Amino acid sequence: MSSSHLYPPPEAAVKGAYVSGIEAYNKLCAEAEADYEGFWARHARDTVTWKKPFTKVLNESGAPFFKWFEDGTLNVSYNCLDRNVERGLGDKTAIIFEADDGKVTKVSYKQLLAQTSQLANALKARGIKKGDRVVIYMSMSVEGVVAMQACARIGATHSVVFGGFSAQSLRDRIEDAGAVAVITADEQLRGGKQLPLKAIVDEALALGGCDSIKNVIVYKRTGGNIAWTAGRDEWLHDVVAGQSTTCEPEWVEAEHPLFLLYTSGSTGKPKGVQHSTGGYLLHAALTTKWTFDLRPDDVFWCTADIGWVTGHTYIAYGPLALGGTEIVFEGVPTYPDAGRFWKMIQDHKVSIFYTAPTAIRSLIKAAEANAAVHPKSYDLKSLRILGSVGEPINPAAWEWYHQHVGGGRCPIVDTFWQTETGGHMITPLPGATTLVPGSCTLPFPGIMAAVVDETGKEVPWGQGGILVVKRPWPSMIRTIWGDPERFKKSYYPEDFKGKYYLAGDGAIRDEKTGYFTITGRIDDVLNVSGHRMGTMEIESALVAHTELVAEAAVVGRPDDTTGEAICAFVVLKRPRPTGDEAKRIAKELRDWVGKEIGPIAKPKDIRFGDNLPKTRSGKIMRRLLRSVAKGETITQDTSTLENPAILDQLSQSN
Ligand code: PRX
């Protein structure tokens, strides 16, 4: 929930901002309201360089499969690289890469363009072409960004899989996308540890169903021992050696799929969110410009991983499209100690810093325990704007971030958006919006967000409801790869008369200001440390342990550090275990889920029962399980339960 403190934009943030003052914000919103297509067309022409200019703006004839700028052609990599070199920014630093061990490498726009072109040529030489899908399973690296840009350059659609996902998850994504190649690294370095990547690719491909894969390209990061399949595997340094440093971009239609990114929904199977080229790039660039007010001298740092949408829009594309200088960080916030972020801000004179509430909360704990890693022990004067993303930020964490990291002078942009939205949807603009801790404030200009009831009718301010977007916007999800029906059902369901985009979150608007506060997901999706997890996905993983598990139900419960924690209720195929045996089996199941999905999906809490609380018709009562998980006394009516006694049993943790 939001607090009642108001923070008007400081004079220094208003002065010279791209959107300066609330009047400027209101004017943009009014322009979008008065001429929606004209508004987006104007910014699409000003922000993006088109090979062939578009003449059509929005095509709604196939709704909800909307098309934007459909007869225009462009190339994202041209917009992010060549365009900056042509503008005289060739020698400007595009990326400051800081490795896990602290080693720093700077890459200029000219160099980034050359590296991207070489890899693009190498991909082409292997027969990879426009429309092919390429899976990228990489750690945070310049090479990871280059791989994404190289795909964009030749019109191949990339699908980045977060390096923390398991072989099984990777296999499922490769198969669903029908990918022709994987770009990976031998290993990744995180927190001083060498973690496998190539070995997981090998395991994924050996699981079967990946016959479409012809090439595996491996970036040598650590030189660790890896297996090699001749004819399929090649080193990145070998494939680019001798390739030309120029490569004519493939000019693609605006609607051409730039990337797929798999995310969790309310059913078991992750969905391949498909994004466009033109509309996506426009929003990536425009939000980077207005929300972060990114200016030529800024040093921008988004701490997300390129495996998530935040790393796509605000590392691989947005800041580069504007010719910015950005940090790419390989490591973790707590290595070698929990002062790492603050030290890096100090060392690189970071001016815009964008991170997740979970990271802030864990760094607060560390700073309170040890003054040496408190932000006050570092010089953070270079900062001018702070950002938050991925989950609600609680007012206490907001205040700490504002005071101790931002020195009380830096506006915090609490950006609400989703994998599906491509970029910010509801967010303050730093030189315009009065901030309220815990509220993501107002829609980005041109985004028609609203809070409605079950029938799709707008509810009065002050009343909670369902968050929707009333009009299509350029960077929205185009479809779910290979499953257009699921796209329609998930985001434009019939009971909403297929009218509005359904975000899957609840929201409430402030009675006086109309500011939005996100109240959390209204479906079976959890948000753990800003990572999105489907409860059904975890349940499927648990019951896949056919030897042990008869039935499982997964719910979330609030957690001080991770926002939400995963709590699993499990019925075994053997008598309910207790004591050490329960601990041992809980560990086995946790590791099992880690192997099936990835370590991020491991339940924090596993409780065993002889059964699950069910209605007489056999439906699991998740509402009750949520209360049990929270440790609440059950006050709800349990008279419809088949087996009320089960609640006591499930209340006992291991
Ligand atoms: O529940 C909302 C939450 O994260 C969900 C989207 O997750 P994902 O697709 O993984 O994208 C995360 C990065 C954009 C949303 O449905 N969420 C995201 N940002 C916020 C948020 N909840 C509250 N406040 C936010 N600023």
Supply the pLDDT for residue 188: 97
pTM of the model: 0.95
631 burial level (CB within 10 Å; 0-12, 13-18, 19+): exposed
CB 533 within 8 A of CB 554: no
pLDDT tens by residue, 485-526: 999 999 999 877 668 999 999 999 999 999 999 998 998 899
- Look at ligand 1, atom 2, and give the residue with the nearest C-alpha: 391
CATH of the domain at 646: 3.30.300.30
Using pLDDT thresholds of 50, 70 and 90, give the confidence band for residue 364.
very high
Averaged pLDDT for residues 2-18: 92
Supply the pLDDT for residue 634: 81
For ligand 1, say whether the CB of 504 is within 6 Å of any of its atoms. Answer: yes
CB 443 within 8 A of CB 235: no
State the Cα–Cα distance between residues 444 and 48, nearest whole angstrom.
18
Supply the pLDDT for residue 641: 81
Residue 639 lies inside a defined structural domain of this protein: yes
As a whole number, the mean pLDDT across the chain is 96
Question: For strand 259-263 and strand 157-160, is the pairing parallel, antiparallel, or unpaired?
Answer: parallel
For ligand 1, say whether the CB of 416 is within 6 Å of any of its atoms. Answer: yes
390 CA distance to ligand 1 centroid (A)?
4
- Look at ligand 1, atom 14, and give the residue with the nearest C-alpha: 418
State the Cα–Cα distance between residues 591 and 2, nearest whole angstrom.
37
| Residue listed under structure tokens 């800024």 | 298
Q: With 70 as the cut, is the pLDDT of residue 267 above it?
A: yes
State the Cα–Cα distance between residues 410 and 383, nearest whole angstrom.
7
Supply the pLDDT for residue 2: 66
For ligand 1, say whether the CB of 532 is within 6 Å of any of its atoms. Answer: yes
> What ligand 1 atom has the least distance to the C-alpha of 427?
26
Q: Where are the alpha helices (DSSP H) in 155-207?
A: 167-177, 198-206
State the Cα–Cα distance between residues 544 and 538, nearest whole angstrom.
10
- Look at ligand 1, atom 10, and give the residue with the nearest C-alpha: 532
- Look at ligand 1, atom 22, and give the residue with the nearest C-alpha: 391
- Look at ligand 1, atom 15, and give the residue with the nearest C-alpha: 418
State the Cα–Cα distance between residues 134 and 243, nearest whole angstrom.
20
Residue 640 lies inside a defined structural domain of this protein: yes
pLDDT tens by residue, 41-73: 999 999 999 999 999 999 999 999 999 999 999
pLDDT tens by residue, 236-249: 999 999 999 999 99
Q: With 90 as the cut, is the pLDDT of residue 635 above it?
A: no
How many domains are there within the chain? Answer: 1
Domain with 641 in it: 529-651
Strand partners, 158: 134, 259
Show the tokens assigned to 81: 């690289």
Residue 287 lies inside a defined structural domain of this protein: no
State the Cα–Cα distance between residues 383 and 550, nearest whole angstrom.
53
Q: Which residue has the higher pLDDT, 523 or 217?
A: 217
Using pLDDT thresholds of 50, 70 and 90, give the confidence band for residue 644.
confident
State the Cα–Cα distance between residues 275 and 312, nearest whole angstrom.
11
Using pLDDT thresholds of 50, 70 and 90, give the confidence band for residue 1.
low
Residue 635 lies inside a defined structural domain of this protein: yes
| Best probe residue, ligand 1, of 433, 505, 508 (max atoms within 8 Å of C-beta) | 505
Supply the pLDDT for residue 215: 98
Residue 424 lies inside a defined structural domain of this protein: no
> What ligand 1 atom has the least distance to the C-alpha of 304?
13
Residue 570 lies inside a defined structural domain of this protein: yes
- Look at ligand 1, atom 8, and give the residue with the nearest C-alpha: 418
Residue 590 lies inside a defined structural domain of this protein: yes
Residues 6+ apart with CB under 8 A from 339: 372, 373, 374, 377, 378
Backbone angles phi and psi of 15, in degrees to 5 = -65, 120
Omega before 428 within 30 of 0, i.e. cis: no
Show the tokens assigned to 369: 């325990």
Q: With 70 as the cut, is the pLDDT of residue 418 above it?
A: yes
State the Cα–Cα distance between residues 295 and 440, nearest whole angstrom.
23
Closest by Cα among 333, 331, 324 to 299: 324
For ligand 1, say whether the CB of 390 is within 6 Å of any of its atoms. Answer: yes
For ligand 1, say whether the CB of 253 is within 6 Å of any of its atoms. Answer: no
Express as a percent the part of the chain with pLDDT over 70. 99
Closest by Cα among 110, 174, 89, 111 to 137: 174
Residue 533 lies inside a defined structural domain of this protein: yes
- Give the H/E segment covering residue 595: helix 579-596
Query: The complex's ipTM?
Result: 0.99
Q: With 70 as the cut, is the pLDDT of residue 654 above it?
A: no
pLDDT tens by residue, 520-546: 899 889 999 989 999 999 999 999 999
Q: Which residue has the higher pLDDT, 651 or 299?
A: 299
Using pLDDT thresholds of 50, 70 and 90, give the confidence band for residue 565.
very high
